[in-house]
Chains A and B, each alone.
Chain A
């Protein structure tokens, strides 16, 4: 028995993003019958229709080995293939090419509360969810008290979960999943939910799991969580693994990568009327990049192009964290624009938020009429001077500049 827990070799996953099907992956029978009817014709025309346009490699030639007992963080930008990788490892979907060998029982936690039924009580859902996640009935019975204890919902155990608050729901769901005792645990960004105290508790639990010699693969956008939990890291970039190694190296490579990509900032869905580009400047080392330091002033510069004048403009600039929480922003009423190109400068003296990824959301309305709504890509990366910044509470939103002195009196 080797000490390898996971061995992935040349993993690739091809997704079809077919024409005329919109976002939904499924087809109607009519479309399919049309396809069959046209198929012979297409065979004659031979223009290689199933070309690269219709397909996307969500993963391409990803190989790595994870030793038993290692906690590995998987990082990468949105769409880099992190979730696809976890889905293949947990056997939810087949790889298109390549193989994986997993040595040990696999438990996956890709979403908190999968299979919970709102009409059933907390007690019933513990059994149901446990069974869905792969626990035996005897195992659930044995761990039942522990689960209830961990979830802190004892009083509501016999209430249907549809009456739960979202926090209670998440607590119960995570409690069940946390007590799944697999050899290999795959976790996808589930810790973005719940309140800070509970998040901390969950992280602690994951840490314990690791100490018991289990192997954990952990996807998160929260570098703080990754850094405190993982020893190794895998960096995925456009479906390829670009780095595997000690977590510190991987994170710094990732953040450097963000800067590189950022030099050509564009606005998603930009059209000729509306927000066209943006940049950030004024920070010490990454001038005009999208990385800022949380305690330094910077300027967000947005370019706005208008074909027609706006008479009664309503402009909003919002900053959201990557788990969708509103951090702050501005709503400006009654602005007037003539047609032309404008620059909007937001001078921000300090943005005392936790290091991590953030998104700017912009919108411009004229009266009730939408002019443009945009999310700025790439993400805004908030960093700290020494790239550590872990003295503050990891589950918190703010990174409050402070000087804490402990004096004996």
Chain B
């Protein structure tokens, strides 16, 4: 068995030389390591709630209690308009993807530094690390999403046929988290300041996104411009696809997708460019 393997192996040729300037993304190699995605994601999921009392309930507690607080202050006291649906479900429908995004961004940013030991001792495409950090958040998302479905049942809100677009909005959130995460995690290797900046970024970003309020507060053309924040497209998309509020958020989604893809691709290249220095300076 092993000998047979030996016979077929010498075809592999690895050439190492100093890399300069812009380098390719090596997506083919990334694909060859697809099982590592699976294992690292699986590890993150498995380990996340080990030795906690409440376990996976934390995935629900975080967005749920934020919703309760928002409902009290923004819904009851400030009487924020909520596009004609009860404020709790209005805010929770946005908090679920928002929490996915915020956690994904945070864990992607910390992922490289947390894997310093791995980076210094084993070779594999480094992109695997931040990508699986974001992917592992999907499980938490699914749990929080179940609660969202329960709330829809409670409030008697039925999704329209637009619900088929929902995965696309989740993908948009994922790409945004990953795109920003790629930039920040590569920067974090060199500048540990990033670690302290991220909580601020996430906080500000939340208030710059229609989580607690509706994007309807803005008039066109400002609203489309507002869509350049990719999370606007995600959150409006979730509310539209799931709760059936408002019309399809067309221009906003185009603007958001464009911004997200730009951030993502530039993040990929920046990451790859910095990759060769990771092992030396992490």
Binding site for B on A (CB under 8 A): 1, 15, 25-30, 32, 68, 87-106, 108, 110-111, 114-115, 117, 119-120, 124, 127-128, 131-134, 136-137, 181, 183, 212-214
Contacts and interface: CB of A to CB of B under 8 A. Distances in A.
Interface of B: 2-3, 5-6, 9-10, 12-19, 35-36, 38-40, 43, 46-47, 50-51, 117-124, 189-194, 276, 279-282
A117 B119 CA distance: 15
B60 to A, nearest CB: 22
Contacts of B14: 91, 100-103, 106
Given A120-B46, A181-B5, A1 B17 contact: no
Query: Main secondary structure on chain B at its contact with chain A?
Result: helix
13 contacts: A1-B10, A15-B280, A26-B189, A27-B191, A32-B191, A88-B16, A91-B16, A93-B280, A104-B10, A104-B12, A119-B51, A120-B47, A134-B122
B191 A92 contact: no
A222 to B, nearest CB: 21
Contacts of B280: 15, 25, 93
Contacts of A94: 16, 18-19, 276
Residue of A92, A100, A120, A128 with highest tally of chain B CB at under 10 A: A92
Given A92-B121, A106-B14, A115-B122, A124 B46 contact: yes
B53 to A, nearest CB: 15
A214 B123 CA distance: 20
B13 A102 contact: yes
A81 B36 CA distance: 30
A27 B190 contact: yes
Contacts of B38: 131, 137
Contacts of A25: 280-282
Contact of A93 (B17, B43, B51, B276): B276
A92 B6 contact: no
B17 to A, nearest CB: 5
Nearest to A138: B35
Contacts of B16: 88-89, 91, 94-95, 99-102
A108 B2 contact: no
Contact of B120 (A26, A92, A137): A92
Given A93-B279, A101-B14, A120-B47, 11 more contacts: A29-B191, A91-B123, A92-B123, A95-B18, A101-B15, A104-B10, A119-B50, A119-B51, A131-B35, A132-B36, A181-B5
B17 A95 contact: yes
Nearest to A137: B35
A183 to B, nearest CB: 5
B18 A97 contact: yes
B192 A26 contact: yes
Given A124-B46, A131-B35, A96 B18 contact: yes
A30 B13 CA distance: 43
B191 A28 contact: yes
Contacts of B121: 92, 108, 110-111, 114
Contacts of B190: 26-27, 32
B191 A26 contact: yes
A93 B280 CA distance: 7
A140 B43 CA distance: 16
A382 B191 CA distance: 45
B124 A132 contact: yes
Given A25-B281, A102-B16, A132-B36, A110 B122 contact: yes
